[in-house]
Amino acid sequence: MNKFVGAKKTELNELARIADRVSFIYVEHAKVNRLDSAITVSDYRGVVNIPCAIIGVLLLGPGTEVSHRAIEILGDTGTAVVWVGERGVRYYASGRSLAHSTKLLEKQAKLVSNVRSRLDVARKMYAMRFGNEDVANLTMQQLRGREGSRIRKVYREHSLKNNVKWDGRDYNVDNFTDSNPVNQALSAANVALYGVCHSIITALGMSPGLGFVHTGHDKSFVYDVADLYKAELTIPLAFELASKVGENDDIGKLARLAFRDKMADGKVMQKIVADLQDLMDVSDADKISANFIELWDDKNGNQKYGVNYRED
């Protein structure tokens, strides 16, 4: 008779409800391994054990090494694993999604496959940007026109506020430096925003390619979602940096770091999770909650995410 070694695979009815889980745990510059039904995270400070059943999404940042055995137990417990840039500002790859069912994916596919429902979701997306304006009867052409006017106004306002010359959005995807500083900052910050949106979409089990406004690209839905937040996140940041940047400064790097810091408190991720489910008309009973992003600490309780805890 073969002796069973290690923990048995967790049954679905034994798993913690998604709403009861820690929403996101971010790990960087550490080694992730497995000990029975927990993963171990070790760095220069020591080792902590994290019970897998309470992890919703594990974000693996730069400098992380993860063992096959750790991925095995995370897969068995239904934990979403996403390989990301620092604090999630790049999306590289992912394992399974957080959701045990395909409800969100099916809802997304159903809505995008019907012209009327696709238009309804697109209108909701534009309504989120326009505030109290009624867009219920506007066509896609009218919506794009109003969005164009709105975004040009946002650019002008931040141009005047920061005393930065603005001649329009101009960038070369094959040559990052072939544009002025504010356009470089916009490009860098937008790419960081795409990474965060991509990670969340994947973690929720949705398709990054099934877009409602954008189409024909494997990141169409990523661009849809990111466009909801540019006016409040990346555009103000880019103009502010452009007003302060020196001639020899790497404004692309500065933009990435500044956007990374905006992710530190987890509020943007929390909002994206909620907004995605509102767009898909998910009922309150079925919604996945992302209430906080924390770092696991076995002695002092969960610690605030985005804080440098290095000991000198």
Summarize the annotated binding site for Mn(2+) as residue ranges: 147, 214, 227
- The full DSSP string for 130-142 is HTT---TT--HHH
The CA angle 54-33-10, to the nearest 5 degrees, is 45
The two tokens of residue 147 are 């969005």
* DSSP SS3 for 23: strand
Helix (H) or strand (E) holding 84: strand 80-84
> Which DSSP state fits 237?
H
Q: Is the dihedral of CA 189, 271, 299, 19 positive or negative?
A: negative
The two tokens of residue 124 are 């909701």
Helix (H) or strand (E) holding 270: helix 267-279
The two tokens of residue 290 are 């992302």
> Which DSSP state fits 16?
P
Binding positions are: 147, 214, 227
**Burial environment of residue 253 by CB neighbours within 10 A (0 to 12, 13 to 18, 19 or more):** exposed
- Report the length, in residues, of the chain: 312
The residues, ordered by sequence, that sit 6+ positions from 39 with a Cβ below 8 Å of its Cβ are 32, 33, 49, 50, 52, 55, 58, 70, 73, 74
- Round to whole Å and give the CA distance between 297 and 302: 5
The two tokens of residue 219 are 């990141």
The two tokens of residue 16 are 């913690």
